[in-house]
Structure formats: structure tokens, C-alpha cells
A and B are shown apart, each in its own frame.
Chain A
Amino acid sequence: MESRNGNLVELRNVHKVYFRDRIEVPVLQGIDLTIREGEFVALMGPSGSGKSTLLNLIAGIDSPTDGEVRVAGESLGTLKPGKLAAWRARHIGFIFQLYNLIPVLTAYQNVELPLLLTKLSAKERKKRVLKVLGLVGLEARAKHFPRQLSGGEEQRVAIARAIVADPTLLVADEPTGDLDAKNAAEILTLLQRLHAELEKTILMVTHDPHAAERAEKTLHLDKGVLQP
């Protein structure tokens, strides 16, 4: 890993300001944050406190107004858009609250999407897709379309899609926010397994204390500031 001293994510004095009708809306106000390789971190905070914004900065799909975001040895502010996309493909697995599967593609094809960006042959892609579908327990659903799956199953397919290219960091934005308690628990168990067995580094946004308990460490964000 290219990261220095085992720190996979390092944020230094990160600010994010949005403009709403020309009025400045400060969302993140001087965030310092370090996540070490192999950690499973939960990020909690009230709605609107800037959790998603912070996660998006770390995942390289948004950029800070000020400060430095270093992830996997790369200072994201210095990367050109094309490079940043390639960097995301290589390092980030993103899990959304609303799963965000492509409705016209089967579970198998959805999981394959990140692999299309690699040089892998069709045969190798198939091997990998079936392997991760097996890992999330959905091998039998490979040919199903998202609308034929339950919410919990959809989220498992989304997790398979997030891990299929073996990214450095998994980020999840309220991954259980749209699920009932039983399915939520299953998803959290799956994430715990990915952390424990595959040594994945995971950053999970949640406002559910039960979900946060599954992580090794919990950060609290309030009004754009990380609480000690």
C-alpha cells in the first residue's frame, strides 16, 4: 500500500462550503481525520450535519473548498478528473443507502460493471463476479433483475459490486437506512465479515446507534465539526 505509516485516509483542516442562492452555507468546518488501514469506522451525526458530504470527499466524488484530502497515498486535490475516475475505480467501493443498482441490468451484470473498467478477460471477470456473489450469498440470483430482488438482496448485490474490484477502501452511506431490522442486521454482519475476514477498511455513515456498535470505532459529526 502506498499510504504512509499505515494511514489510509488523512484529512487536514478540510472545509466545505455550499452556495444556496448565493448565500454561503458552511457544511464542514475544519475537519481533521485519520483512518488507518484495516479499520472499521462508523460516522454518526444528526441529519444535515455533513456526513454524506464528508464521505463524498473521501470517496473522491466531491472536492473540498479548502484543506487536504489524502486517501490511499494520493492527494485528491491534485488529480485531474480523468485520473480521479481511474483512482476511484481502483481504490473505492461505494455502498449507497438506496442500493442504486442499474435496473436494466441483472445482478450479475451490475456486479460486473466495475470490472469492465479493468483489463480482465471475460472469463476472469466471470470468475470474480461469481465469487463475490457467492460471498454475499446470492449466487442463485445472478440472473435476476433488481426489481425481482428484496431490499436486503439488492443491498447485498450492491455490496458485491462495491467489493468485486477489490478496492482499498469501502465507504457506505447509511447502508441500512432503508432496510427493516432483520435485513439491516444481515447487512451489518456482512460488513463485519468483510472487515474481519478480508481485512477491508470500512467507513460507514449511519445514524443508527445499533449499526455504529458493529464498528470498531465511532466518530461523531455535529454542525460540520468532528466531536472529540
Chain B
Amino acid sequence: MKYFRLIWANLLRAKRRTFLTVFSIAIALFLFCTLRTVITSFEASLRASEATRLVVRHGASLVFPLPLAYRERLVQVPGVNGVSYGNWFGGFYQDPKNQFAQFAMDVPTMFDLFPELVMPADQVQAFRSERTAAIIGKALAKKYGWKLGDQVPIIGTIFPGEWRFVVRGIYEGKTKDVDENTLFFHWDYLNESLPEGRKNQVGIYWIRVASPDLAADVSRRVDAMFENSPQPTKTETEKAFQAGFISMIGNIQLLLTIIGSAIVFAIMLVTVNTMMMAARERTTEIAVLKTLGYSDGLILRLVAGEALLVSLLGGLLGCGLAALVFHESDFTASGFFPNFRVLPETIVAGLLLAVLMGILSGIVPAVTAARLEVASALRKVA
């Protein structure tokens, strides 16, 4: 590409302008990747949820617990063939910034209800047989360098104090959508350590139904059963439960798409203007190149190439930054986005968007330059 130097020299002509343009495109694409990742993370957790798994929680709010005694009654409900339970622990490791989810789980039943957590049999055994044992996801293990046998101290916020767990297992997700950033430990251990008034309280029950079409019936039956008790329940499929987070903020997907598109569009208008200014300033130079024998087609490609290069640089910067930031930091929003990472598809979409911006912002100046009448353009200066 012997013309590259010509394109490059033109970009360096107004360094500040080029930098600002590249930078604003980078910001637009950084935001695009971020918003896109919010959506894909939600989608991933929806995909990872099981259609036969129902979530039973307090009818008023997630923050109110349910009695442990409900367990016996849930097992009795026709259509239910498995029950487990757990509590959101809400602690952190060393620093509140180190956020990842921790759950106290009923260990004897959890692997039955969560078959997507895959772990060697000896590790399952080791976890079961030790009261203070914990298992962690592979990603979490990698991030903090934890190995089997390590002691992990977690500072509790809902359940105050320092809790020490021994890592006895490292699980992997059965599919890539399964979150590998959670720490699970024994619900019994938590329960024993609590003062009398807080004992025997369960945050969430998970129940499994024999087939997805039983889900609606079973949900209704469960909620009817506790309807008039002091602790009514709300039962829904795990999917609906996950989707509930989304509807809490309205139709977030549409919102994010609109915001993302608006940003990209606004930046593109600015870029179009900049590119047109840049080309207009060079009318004489373009006429000179044509005089030297540069064809209209070549001029078109040179000017368009410049716009494309600017956009692509911005795209690489913005998308690269997004990938880096959300890889290095652990933006999990206290575990609400367990798998918050930029997918390769998002990067590709971002770069394609950058190319599109480049083409759209380059097309008018490029065509104008290609159509330029040499003789009259040269007159303007003479």
C-alpha cells in the first residue's frame, strides 16, 4: 500500500483534529460495547437458567426470608421432584471492591438441583464432608489465584464477621453461559453460627418440576399453599425470576439500544462534518494530484480510506478499551452480572459499526473530491 503514507500524512496534518475525532469515535464505540455487553450478559444468564427450575421467595421482597419448615411442604407438592435452598451471603473478600456472589447452599441437594455445576467426584465428596468447606468457580479461582486447600476469608455484610472457608472444589460451568464467579458454602455452617432469632431462615428455595409445562401449575399451587400465612411466597421460573431484574428497570434492552444508537449516530454526524472540512481545505491539493495524473477513482479511494482509517482507529481504541476494562475489572454489580464480559461478537459488531461510520462519513467528501474539476479548483488560489 504505497499510498498509505499519503493518507497517513494527511491525518497528521491536523493532529489535534484527528485525535479528537478518533477519540470521540472511540468513546462512542466503548459505550456501544458496554451497553451491548449489559444485554448479552443478561441474555447469557437467561440462557443458563433452567426451564424446569422454579424460584420460591418471599411474596413481598427478596430481602425477607422464608421459614426452613417450608421445605417439607414443598417436597409434598405434586409435580415437584427436587428441592434445594440457600441464602445470598453478600460478603466481600478483603475489600468491598472485590465483588462476587457468595451463596450459602443446602449442600446435600444442591448438585441435584444445579447439574450445570460440574466438578470431579472427589471434590464433591470433600466439599460435602467438611462443614467449613467451600467451592468456587473456575474464573474466580483464576482471578484470585485460589487453589484447593486455600483458606478464603470473607467479610460478611448481611451476616457480620469474618468467615473462613477452605476451598475444596473448583467447579466449571457445563456451558459457557454458566457463571463461574460464585462461591458456594454450607448453609448449615451459616445457620449454626447465627444467633437464635436468625436461625432457620431461607432466602430462596429452588424447586424442580418434572417437565417445563408443569411450571405454571406448580407455581400457582405453591403460592396458594402459603397465601394466608405470615410469609406468603412468590414462585416463578428461574427465567422469569432473572427477567424480573430486567423489568425492574423497564424495557432495558430497548432503552440501551436507543441510547447506544443515538450516541453512535451523533458521533457520526460530527465525524462527517470533520471529514468534509478536512477534504474541503485540501481542494487545491486534490486538484494538484489530479493534474499529476491521479484518477478520480484513486482520489475517491484515498479520501475514503482516510475516513475509514480514522473510524477504524477509533473503533479499535474503543472496543479494545471495553474488552480490557471489563476483563481486568470485576464489574459484576454485586453478582447481578456474574458473566459481565465483552463477547467477541460484540467486538466484531463494534468494529463493523466503526467501518460503517467510516464509509458513511467518507462517502460525501470522497465523491466530492473525485468529482472536483481540476481547472476551476486550481483557479481559486491563483
Contact = CB atoms under 8 A, between A and B. Distances in A.
B1 to A, nearest CB: 11
Contacts of A89: 292-294
B381 A113 contact: no
B62 interface: no
Given A85-B295, A88-B293, A122 B375 contact: no
Contacts of A52: 379, 382
A108 B289 CA distance: 16
A168 to B, nearest CB: 12
A85 B9 contact: no
A113 B292 contact: yes
Contacts of A113: 6, 289, 292
Contacts of B6: 105, 109, 113, 116
A102 B285 contact: yes
A151 B302 CA distance: 28
Contacts of B5: 109
B378 interface: yes
Given A62-B374, A104-B13, A109-B9, A97 B291 contact: no
A164 to B, nearest CB: 10
Interface in A3-56: 52-53, 56
Contacts of B9: 102, 104-105, 109
A173 B374 CA distance: 14
A103 B284 CA distance: 11
Q: How large is the interface on A (under 10, 10 to 19, 20 to 34, 35 or more residues)?
A: 20 to 34
A73 B268 CA distance: 49
Interface in A89-103: 89-90, 92, 94, 96-98, 100, 102-103
A147 to B, nearest CB: 12
A96 B290 contact: no
B293 A82 contact: no
A82 B295 contact: yes
Contacts of A82: 295-297
Given A62-B375, A96-B378, A114 B293 contact: yes
| Majority SS at the chain B contact face | helix
Contacts of A61: 290-291, 374-375, 378
A86 B297 CA distance: 12
B293 A86 contact: yes
A115 B189 CA distance: 80
B12 interface: yes
Nearest to A59: B291
A122 B1 CA distance: 11
Interface string B1-31: 0110110011011000000000000000000
A104 B12 contact: yes
Contacts of A137: none
A140 to B, nearest CB: 21
A88 B292 contact: yes
A132 B298 CA distance: 25
Contacts of B297: 82
A104 B289 CA distance: 14
Nearest to A117: B293
Interface in B96-148: none
A81 interface: yes
B382 A97 contact: yes
A117 B301 CA distance: 14
A56 B293 contact: no
Contact of B288 (A90, A96, A109, A116): A96
A173 B298 CA distance: 26
A92 to B, nearest CB: 7
User: Interface centre among A88, A109, A173, by most B CB within 10 Å?
Assistant: A88
A96 to B, nearest CB: 7
Nearest to B8: A104
Please name the 10 residue pairs, one residue from A and one from B, whose CB atoms are nearest each other, closest first.
Answer: A89-B293, A62-B375, A85-B295, A61-B374, A104-B9, A88-B293, A100-B288, A104-B13, A56-B375, A94-B291
7 contacts: A61-B290, A89-B293, A94-B291, A98-B382, A100-B285, A114-B292, A116-B2
Given A98-B382, A102-B285, 6 more contacts: A61-B291, A88-B291, A92-B293, A96-B288, A117-B293, A161-B292
Interface of B: 2-3, 5-6, 9-10, 12-13, 284-285, 288-298, 374-375, 378-379, 381-382
